[in-house]
Amino acid sequence: MSRIGKLPIRIPDGVQVNVNKNIVKVKGKLGELTQKIDSSITVEVKGKDVILQRPSDQKKHKALHGLSRALINNMVEGVSKGFKTQLELVGVGYKATANGQLLDMSLGFSHNILMEIPALVKVEAETKKRANPILTLSSVDKQLLGHVVAKIRSFRKPEPYKGKGIKFIGEELRRKQGKMAAAK
């Protein structure tokens, strides 16, 4: 059995899970999400649990079993609690402002970077005096949030010498020493 796939998904209060053939719809207080699951995986709602089963122990079925369970679990968690990620812009003159769904970032290039954020993702930019700007992104869809965060981070990845770039809050960067004094 797949260690992840065999675990039942507990449905919290206020969340509805509907299964129609291989399409799973999850509705909660924060929103509604839909996911298409592979037709070889059977999804059943029994009381307050969602149970997934696979037809055989083939490698493909084992992989799909765990994947499907993780996707549905993320949907249930997203519509009940939501997901949140914080990014820190480290560098002299790095700034970010959010105007609705438009993110304007100044990251040391000759031009500002404008990025339109999808409707399911909420973005907030916080700038305090003498502190690095912080971007807070929140969404009910974990996949979409991860994709948007990866795209923002790709504009200026943290570099190993000074640590400049866009990094997660609390992320430990592996720093390099740089040039050493010439040996005598």
Beta partners for 97? Answer: 104
Q: Evaluate whether 176 touches 161 at the Cβ level (below 8 Å).
A: yes
For tokens 């037809």, name the residue.
55
Would you say residue 4 has pLDDT above 70?
A: yes
- Nearest Cα to 117, choosing from 135, 133, 132? 135
Per-residue pLDDT band for 181 (boundaries 50, 70, 90) equals low
DSSP character string of 147-164: HHHHHHHHTSPPPTTT--
- Mean pLDDT over each residue of the chain, to the nearest integer: 92
**Per residue in 55-81, pLDDT tens?**
999 999 999 999 999 999 999 999 999
Per-residue pLDDT band for 1 (boundaries 50, 70, 90) equals very low
Helices (H), 94-173: 142-154
Q: Tens of pLDDT along 6-40?
A: 899 999 999 999 999 889 999 999 999 999 999 99
User: Right CATH number for 9-80 from 3.50.50.60, 3.90.930.12, 3.30.360.10, 3.40.50.970?
Assistant: 3.90.930.12
What is this structure's pTM? Answer: 0.88
Whether the Cβ atoms of residue 34 and residue 22 lie closer than 8 Å to each other: no
Same fold, 9-80 and 83-168: yes
Residue 84: both structure tokens together: 């949140």
Q: What is the pLDDT of residues 130-146, one digit of tens each?
A: 899 999 999 999 999 99
Percent of the chain's residues with pLDDT above 90 = 82
Class of domain 83-168: alpha beta
- What is the domain partition of the chain in residue ranges? 9-80, 83-168
Q: What is the DSSP string of 25-62?
A: EEE-SS-EEEEE--TTSEEEEETTEEEEE-SS--HHHH
Buried b (16+ CB within 10 A) or exposed e, 36-64: ebeebbebeeeeeebbbebeeeeeebbeb
In eight-state DSSP terms, residue 108 is: S
